[in-house]
Amino acid sequence: MAWIAIDAGTSVIKAVAFADDGRELTLAREKTEVLHPQPDWSEQDMDGVWSAVVKTVTAVVPQITEQVRGIVVTAQGDGSWLVDEQGRPTGNAILWNDGRATEEIEQWTASGAIEQSFRISGSVSYPGLPNAIFAWLDKHQPNRIGNARWTLTCGAWLFSKMTGRFAADLSDGSNPFSDVKRGEYSQQIVALYGAEKNAKLLPPLAKGKDVVAPLTDHAASELGLSAGTPIVMAPYDIVSTAYGSGASQPGQACVILGTTICAEVITASLDLTGDPAGTTIALYDGLHLRAMPTLTGCEALDWTARLLEVDGLPALGDLAATAPRGSNGIFFLPYLSPAGERAPFLNPDARGSFHGLTLGASRAALARSVYEGLAFVVRECLATATADKLSEVRVCGGGARSDLWCQLIADATGVTVIRPADSEIGARGAHLFAMAITGETKDITEGVQKHVTHATTFRPNAEAHAFYTLRYETFLKVRETANAQWQLLAGAR
């Protein structure tokens, strides 16, 4: 028998079939379009995303000789995918990287609401979360939110299309409205964000077996499967990717080098007394994932390749590798998202910049400075996520294909970096979750031990680590001086 794992990312939808022995059987991909109808806006056509899922699943099903045991869904998180009573979209989905509600976040930061909320949720709010989106819609598009019955995430939207059920799993429900230690919505947080009248939009939190439901007749006809096929709502993509990389136990870390960088550590204990930073996601058996999801990752490399007129990221990496360690004194602050930054610090006004340029600055040094800046971001994210010493860091995502970046992360952090053998890490993690929740394995760790293998190991160079530790300290000081510039530039926009 086979599982089909759907990984619905922001720009690509993938359906991957896995055999019972863990082998990847087949894969289908469909690109999706991110819409930008206004500056700083980021939206998707919800029906278009569903259509892409249908295309990938119907492409995979005929290639599977085994009976389909079930479908498991993981997807991009956060944002607000509003639907009415019948489950129909009330407009485009507003995505996690949407920046229209920056003003609301600034007001809540100034009032202390975000810090107070962090003490309960373990998560920092940013413009692409439902609390900020609700507040913006109330002011600017009241009919759109007034016609809504549920606010879903991408994964919850797809689950509803397949099962007719409206729910959110614990990971999707963690931020911004949940008491992360209790695993339930917090009315105190709802009140902090003035969301009392919109609290009715929050879907029930599905726990345990409640994340499994049968495929409806209508969805079965669209997907080419049998009605009643089990559908599993897995944790959203950053959690599923941690599982797929092999991180399932306290103290294990994973860094996703994708559209954004997400450094995450699994922990059995929570300390919410420090400076508010990042996201805390409820898992299973009392475990939590402390995640530092930035707003810029590989997009910074794509931007650099275009800027330097380099043909693709492999060529950019080759160019950067010709520059000396330290990029001839150039530093790059990689905060290129129009929504600023959300981890390991929150500042909607944060912007990217090169520092230390001279007439002698080369294309190679500029390119290397971007890789080094991104490696420093990984170091800071991991340090903010946990004070514990890490034994190794697993890396995945498109950026993990870069040997240069992986080695720079090892040198910057002083920790061994491991690149898994799987290419579809998020789908693999969703599959591991499906096996655990349906009883095929005792838990996710058993699945990891059976099915996750590693391909390449990058060990830190002691001399390089000492060098980059000094550079990292300077990087932080350069960023500190940039804060005043960000505020000044925000007033000029």
215 and 261 in a common domain? no
399 and 351 in a common domain? yes
Stretches in the chain below the pLDDT threshold 50:
none
Q: How far apart are CA 71 and CA 430, in angstroms?
A: 10
Contact at 8 Å (CB) between 61 and 225? yes
* Cα 102–chain centre separation: 19
103 and 54 in a common domain? yes
Residue 434 lies in a domain: no
188 and 251 in a common domain? no
Give the start-end residues of each E strand in 223-287: 230-233, 253-257, 261-267, 279-282
* Sheet containing 2-8, strands listed edge to edge, beginning at the edge strand earlier in sequence: 24-31, 12-19, 2-8, 68-75, 230-233, 212-214
Residue 241 lies in a domain: no
Q: What are the CA-CA distances from residue 170 to residues 125, 182, 233, 351 (Å)?
A: 17, 11, 10, 32
254 and 106 in a common domain? no
Residue 239 lies in a domain: no
pLDDT at residue 397, rounded to an integer = 87
Q: How far apart are CA 450 and CA 13, in angstroms?
A: 26
327 and 457 in a common domain? yes
pTM, two decimals, is 0.87
136 and 24 in a common domain? yes
Contact at 8 Å (CB) between 90 and 82? yes
Number of H helices, E strands in the chain: 17, 23
Q: How far apart are CA 71 and CA 61, in angstroms?
A: 11
Residue 66 lies in a domain: yes
pLDDT at residue 423, rounded to an integer = 85
Residue at which a domain ends, from 179, 212, 234: 234
Residue at which a domain ends, from 181, 212, 234: 234
Length of the chain: 493
**Quick one: 397 exposed, middle or buried, by C-beta within 10 A (0-12, 13-18, 19+)?**
buried
DSSP 249: S
For residue 369 the two structure tokens come to: 């400075």
pLDDT at residue 262, rounded to an integer = 92
Residue 228 lies in a domain: yes
Residue 27 lies in a domain: yes
Residue 429 lies in a domain: no
62 and 166 in a common domain? yes
Task: Tell me if the bond preceding 176 is cis, omega within 30° of 0.
Answer: yes
Q: How far apart are CA 77 and CA 60, in angstroms?
A: 24
List of residues 6+ apart from 487 with CB closer than 8 A = 349
List of residues 6+ apart from 338 with CB closer than 8 A = 39, 40, 99
Buried-state track 1-20, b at ≥16 Cβ within 10 A, e below 16: ebbbbbbbbbeebbbbbbee
pLDDT at residue 386, rounded to an integer = 81
Give the start-end residues of each E strand in 328-481: 331-333, 353-355, 392-396, 416-420, 454-458
205 and 120 in a common domain? yes
Residue at which a domain ends, from 184, 200, 234: 234
259 and 202 in a common domain? no
5 DSSP β-pair partners? 16, 72
Q: How far apart are CA 1 and CA 419, in angstroms?
A: 29
Structural domain of 287: 247-424+441-493
Q: How far apart are CA 417 and CA 407, in angstroms?
A: 8
pLDDT at residue 32, rounded to an integer = 95
For residue 291 the two structure tokens come to: 């995640």
CATH number of the domain enclosing 37: 3.30.420.40
Residue with token string 């190991």: 457
256 and 213 in a common domain? no
SS3 330: coil
Q: What are the CA-CA distances from residue 235 to residues 153, 249, 307, 342 (Å)?
A: 11, 16, 36, 21
Q: How far apart are CA 260 and CA 274, in angstroms?
A: 24
Into how many domains does the chain fold?
A: 2
201 and 290 in a common domain? no
Q: How far apart are CA 368 and CA 405, in angstroms?
A: 9
Residue 181 lies in a domain: yes
